[in-house]
Structure 1
Amino acid sequence: MAVSAEYKEFVAEQLEGLGPVRMRGMFGGAGVYLDDLMFGLIFEETLYFKVDDTNRADFEGEGMEPFTYEMRNGKTGALHYYEVPERLYDEPDELVQWARKSLAVMRTARSAKLAKAARSATRKKPAAKRTRKSAPRE
């Protein structure tokens, strides 16, 4: 089921204090972005925020669980996105604080990815040796 335009508009209004949030459709849901960072996910009219070890306890303390999906092989997969507690919709300032933490998670992940790319770029393979052909002897 695709995410309704009304729900996307509701989420954008709730996150106004964060800045110009935009939504991009993906896999029947929508990614929630600020600038070029996807910090949230909407699926079946439910909002999820990105988590790591820095903010996971906030979600688990509220009894929230990760976004899960069924894989082709029948197993269940989970993403590093947890459902946002419903009570936060009545507390937009707190909701924005939680969103900021998820943005920080994404910034940290991006920085780590860029650092890894920079390290691997400095370890490029050496160029192949060229052999020099000598002029024919007379």
Structure 2
Amino acid sequence: MDNDAISDLFSGLGPVSIRRLFGGKGIYFEGVIVAVELRGELMLKGDAELGREFDAAGCTQWTYVGSRHGKQVAMPYWTLPDGAADDADEMASWARKSYQAGLRSGK
């Protein structure tokens, strides 16, 4: 996904900045990370509170197998809910929730 498409997708939240991160892109709003784009897939920032909403919406959490002990490692990012990328109001709502999760994480 190119930067213009990402900016358009997050336009309901406001102007975002996009930086290289994890071999992909980090998407930031007012200095807070709200999403990542990796291998062509966009994932929204979450936390324990928002994670329950993502799970209920059928989203999948980003996990990978750690190299040290071969255990699954869960990252605080979830796939987009179905239809969010095609509905500007729904995308803006999820992006605002991800922004709030980012603020709660304090990072």
Normalising by structure 2, report the TM-score. Answer: 0.86
Determine which structure has the larger helix proportion and give its number: 1
Residues 1-138 of structure 1 correspond to what in structure 2 (within 5 A)? 4=1, 6=2, 8-73=3-68, 74-110=70-106
> Structure 2 CA distance, aligned partners of 1:39 and 1:48?
9
Q: Which runs of 4+ in 1 moved over 4 A?
A: none
The RMSD of aligned alpha carbons is 1.7
Deviates more, 1:51-60 or 1:40-49: 51-60
TM-score, length basis structure 1: 0.69
Q: Distance in 2 between matches of 1:60 and 1:86?
A: 12
In structure 2, runs of 5+ residues without a counterpart are: none
Structure number with larger C-alpha Rg: 1
**Separation in 2, partners of 1:9, 1:75:** 36
Structure 1, 37-46 or 68-77: larger mean CA deviation: 68-77
CA positional deviation for 1:60 = 0.8
State the 1:66 CA deviation. 0.8
Identify unmatched segments of 5+ residues in structure 1.
114-138
How far apart in 1 are the matches of 2:22 and 2:101?
Answer: 22
For residues 107 and 95 of structure 1, what CA distance do their matches in structure 2 show? Answer: 18
State the identity as a percent.
30
Q: Aligned pairs, how many?
A: 106
User: Does the Cα contact within 8 Å between 2:47 and 2:105 map onto a contact in 1?
Assistant: no
AA matched with 2:73: G
**Bigger RCO of structures 1 and 2 (CA < 8 A, at least 6 apart):** 2
* Preserved contact between residue 45 and residue 77 of structure 2 (Cα < 8 Å): yes
